[in-house]
């Protein structure tokens, strides 16, 4: 069964990244620790970039950093060790110096959580700077290659 659309954002701006919950990501209650979701969102974002032909290392070599300026996570259902999750990542907004990614994490058709991350573009001296035009184009582009 296909997942419902994330929003009015064009579907080519969304990618899906599967992951299996590891034991070290769970807490004493046997569920995924809330802090583990931050890493899941980042993994989804890095995969999203790879699927568009861009490695984060390449961005850093160019003297650009995409720093987390805001983060919101809404937990809906617990996930447990061994669950197969899918992190759905969407580049939902691109502005002069920021980009926003939204996330939905699913186990089968069950939505586990929602997330939202605002990234600020910084120079190598950690000063707010304009997103380079080619990077802004990549952030608004469809998948170019399968991530690996």
pLDDT in tens, 112-148: 999 999 999 999 999 999 999 999 999 999 998 555 5
pTM here?
Answer: 0.89
Residue 57 CA to residue 116 CA, distance in Å, equals 23
In SS3 terms, 98-148 reads as EEEEEEEEEECCEEEEEEEEEEEEEECCCCECCCCHHHHHHHCCCCCCCCC
Provide the token pair at 40. 């899941």
CATH code: domain 11-138 is 3.10.129.10
Residues 6+ apart with CB under 8 A from 108: none
């Amino acid at each position: 069964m296909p997942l419902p659309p994330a929003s009015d954002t064009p579907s080519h701006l969304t990618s899906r990244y599967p992951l299996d919950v590891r034991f070290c990501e769970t807490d004493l209650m046997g569920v995924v620790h809330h802090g583990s979701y931050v890493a899941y969102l980042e993994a989804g974002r890095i995969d999203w970039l790879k699927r568009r032909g861009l490695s984060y290392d390449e961005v850093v070599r160019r003297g650009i950093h995409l720093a987390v300026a805001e983060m919101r996570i809404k937990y809906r259902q617990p996930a447990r060790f061994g669950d197969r999750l899918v992190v759905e990542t969407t580049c939902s907004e691109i502005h002069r110096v920021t980009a926003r990614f939204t996330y939905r994490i699913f186990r089968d058709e069950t939505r586990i959580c929602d997330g939202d991350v605002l990234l600020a573009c910084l120079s190598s001296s950690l000063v707010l700077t304009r997103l380079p035009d080619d990077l802004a184009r990549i952030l608004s582009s469809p998948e170019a290659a399968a991530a690996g």
